[in-house]
Amino acid sequence: KKQATWGGRFSEGPAELMLRIGESVSFDQRLAPFDVQGSKAQAAMLAHVGIITDEERDAIQAGLDAILAKVEAGEFFWDPELEDVHMNIEQALTQEVPAAAKLHTARSRNDQVATDMRLWFKYACDEVDASLAAVIASLVDLAERTQTVIIPGYTHLQRAQPVSMAHHLLAYVEMFARDRTRIAAVKEQANVCPLGSGAIAGTTLPIDREFVANELGFVDAQGRPQVTQNSMDAVSDRDSFIQFASACASIGVHLSRLAEDFILWSSAEFGFVKLPDAFTTGSSLMPQKKNPDAFELIRGKSARLTGNLQMLLTMVKGLPLTYNRDLQEDKPPVFDSFDQTVLILDCVAACLPGVQADAKRCAAAVADPALLATDVVDYLVKKAVPFREAHHVVGALVGLSEQLETPLNELPYEKVAKIHAALGADWIDAFDLGKALAARDKPGMPGPDQVAARIEHWRQK
């Protein structure tokens, strides 16, 4: 068995099962580019303060570049006996470059992994943000195409009031725009350099924390280096992990609701949209089936995002300060949240351009005059009938319509007029769908001008 990096005081190597439970390289090897970046900056700092020579720095940096090239070419051998990405890279480097024995000076894997993950979060947040932006763009495109497609809006999954499909879709744009701010907040929080915290209590060596923070781009908007302010916090803080998983869970919840709407809309019962063949599947038994699998999987995968957040919260909550090995388990949920979030966002962005609204089916669904019952209430209110009374009056009209099995807007006027004196012959105008929507012309409302302005707003952004 190989001697572990920390093997000095041990008389025998770890058990086979210890190696199996202890290894993280199977999942943390994806940190290699960030680990190399961090180590190159560490070497630069050590040379800057005179702990290593410039030649040693250059040799270490060149060696690290060569290792990364091997990793990227798929030619690097990841050895589970070396536990994690950090040990694997350091060992490989030491075999090539003698000066590598000085690289870990004033550093622990505790501040090293905290640094790697902060660099990773900054990268991951940019990726998620780009995918969010693409989903927003595809929703705005579909909204542009469906401004004149009027559908029932639903509360309690019961038909409520008419809205354009565009207005419905733009609701999701608002959600995803808020998700972008959540992701931006994670990136901001991750933008502080933990290097120099050591294992827990810093170091007695004359390091330059600001220098290494600068090298790694941990700088504020004014270009000032950002370093963590408490070494114990820096090696045990997992807030960014939780915040990232939380932002992904929020995206997942929003995508899941969107998926559910499209699953319903594409059913025979609704028939509001046709989904593109490329994002649906057939049945191995029933030849007629076209199943909305992509949206079902988006809905399903969003559960993983919630679970990952729960896992992190549960894992961290009882840990005494500072680093505990439990924390090695922080990476699978975070990587999974990242991978699944980007995947399901990208699926939605790719699928929406192929969605076709079925104008006929939407028109049939929205032809139900009861959807404009509230507009009849407004008609009465404009005639000075108190709202509560007007609500009651229209309730009676709806009751009458059900009793006579006659649509609300086809009730004989003599019967209508008897219900309330304020119901003039023009009450019927309340059922004009175009006018009903146009009247909803205040900010945030589904009036066509408002919707068009919101589309323009998002286009500008």
Q: Is the Cβ of residue 327 or residue 370 nearer to ligand ARG in the bound state?
A: 327
Among 34, 172, 244, 323, binds ligand ARG (CB under 6 A): 323
Among 113, 259, 311, 345, binds ligand ARG (CB under 6 A): 113
The residues that are catalytic are 156, 283
Q: How far is the CB of 84 from ligand ARG (least distance, A)?
A: 4
Choose one: 67-75, 109-117, 211-219, 298-306; the region binding ligand ARG (CB under 6 A): 109-117
- Binding track over 357-386 against ligand ARG, x by CB under 6 A: ------------------------------
Q: Is the Cβ of residue 334 or residue 408 nearer to ligand ARG in the bound state?
A: 334
Report if residue 84 touches ligand ARG, rule: CB under 6 A.
yes
Q: Is the Cβ of residue 34 or residue 270 nearer to ligand ARG in the bound state?
A: 34
| Residues of this chain, 8-37, that bind ligand ARG according to CB under 6 A | 24
Quick one: angle between helices 109-145 and 448-460, nearest 10?
Answer: 140
Please say whether the beta carbons of 114 and 237 come within 8 A.
yes
Q: How far is the CB of 178 from ligand ARG (least distance, A)?
A: 31
Among 109, 209, 301, 361, binds ligand ARG (CB under 6 A): 109
Report if residue 306 touches ligand ARG, rule: CB under 6 A.
no
Q: Is the Cβ of residue 271 or residue 332 nearer to ligand ARG in the bound state?
A: 332
Q: Which of 318, 316, 310, 317 is nearest to 337 (CA)?
A: 310
Among 37, 110, 240, 340, binds ligand ARG (CB under 6 A): 110
Choose one: 268-276, 291-299, 321-329, 332-340; the region binding ligand ARG (CB under 6 A): 321-329
Q: How far is the CB of 41 from ligand ARG (least distance, A)?
A: 18
Q: How far is the CB of 325 from ligand ARG (least distance, A)?
A: 6
3-state SS, 214-262, equals HHCCCECCCCCECECCCHHHHHHCCHHHHHHHHHHHHHHHHHHHHHHHH
Q: Is the Cβ of residue 26 or residue 267 nearer to ligand ARG in the bound state?
A: 26
Q: How far is the CB of 283 from ligand ARG (least distance, A)?
A: 44
Phi then psi dihedrals of residue 319, to 5 deg:
-80, 130
3-state SS, the chain, equals CCCCCCHHHCCCCCCHHHHHHHCCHHHHHHHHHHHHHHHHHHHHHHHHCCCCCHHHHHHHHHHHHHHHHHHHCCCCCCCHHHCCHHHHHHHHHHHHCHHHHHCCCCCCHHHHHHHHHHHHHHHHHHHHHHHHHHHHHHHHHHHHHCCCCEEEEEECCEEEEEEEHHHHHHHHHHHHHHHHHHHHHHHHHHCCECCCCCCCCCCCCCCCHHHHHHHCCCECCCCCECECCCHHHHHHCCHHHHHHHHHHHHHHHHHHHHHHHHHHHCCCCCCCEECCHHHCECCCCCCCCCECHHHHHHHHHHHHHHHHHHHHHHHHHCCCCCCCHHHHHHHHHHHHHHHHHHHHHHHHHHHHHHCEECHHHHHHHHCCHHHHHHHHHHHHHHCCCCHHHHHHHHHHHHHHHHHHCCCHHHCCHHHHHHHCCCCCHHHHHHHCHHHHHHCCCCCCCCCHHHHHHHHHHHHHC
Q: How far is the CB of 259 from ligand ARG (least distance, A)?
A: 34
Choose one: 11-19, 93-101, 105-113, 309-317; the region binding ligand ARG (CB under 6 A): 105-113
Choose one: 91-99, 107-115, 188-196, 439-447; the region binding ligand ARG (CB under 6 A): 107-115
Q: Is the Cβ of residue 83 or residue 179 nearer to ligand ARG in the bound state?
A: 83
Please say whether the beta carbons of 93 and 185 come within 8 A.
no
Choose one: 68-76, 95-103, 308-316, 319-327; the region binding ligand ARG (CB under 6 A): 319-327
Q: Is the Cβ of residue 24 or residue 266 nearer to ligand ARG in the bound state?
A: 24
Q: Is the Cβ of residue 281 or residue 324 nearer to ligand ARG in the bound state?
A: 324
Total of residues contacting ligand ARG (CB under 6 A): 9
Q: Which of 449, 318, 328, 406 is nearest to 86 (CA)?
A: 328
Q: Is the Cβ of residue 25 or residue 255 nearer to ligand ARG in the bound state?
A: 25
- Binding track over 328-357 against ligand ARG, x by CB under 6 A: x-----------------------------
* d(C-alpha 30, C-alpha 401), whole Å: 65
Q: How far is the CB of 343 from ligand ARG (least distance, A)?
A: 24
- Any residues with CB less than 8 A from the CB of 109 and at least 6 apart, and which? 84, 86, 87
Q: How far is the CB of 14 from ligand ARG (least distance, A)?
A: 12
Report if residue 149 touches ligand ARG, rule: CB under 6 A.
no
Q: How far is the CB of 238 from ligand ARG (least distance, A)?
A: 10
Among 150, 327, 347, 372, binds ligand ARG (CB under 6 A): 327
> Which residues here bind ligand ARG, judged by CB under 6 A?
24, 84, 109-110, 113, 323, 325, 327-328
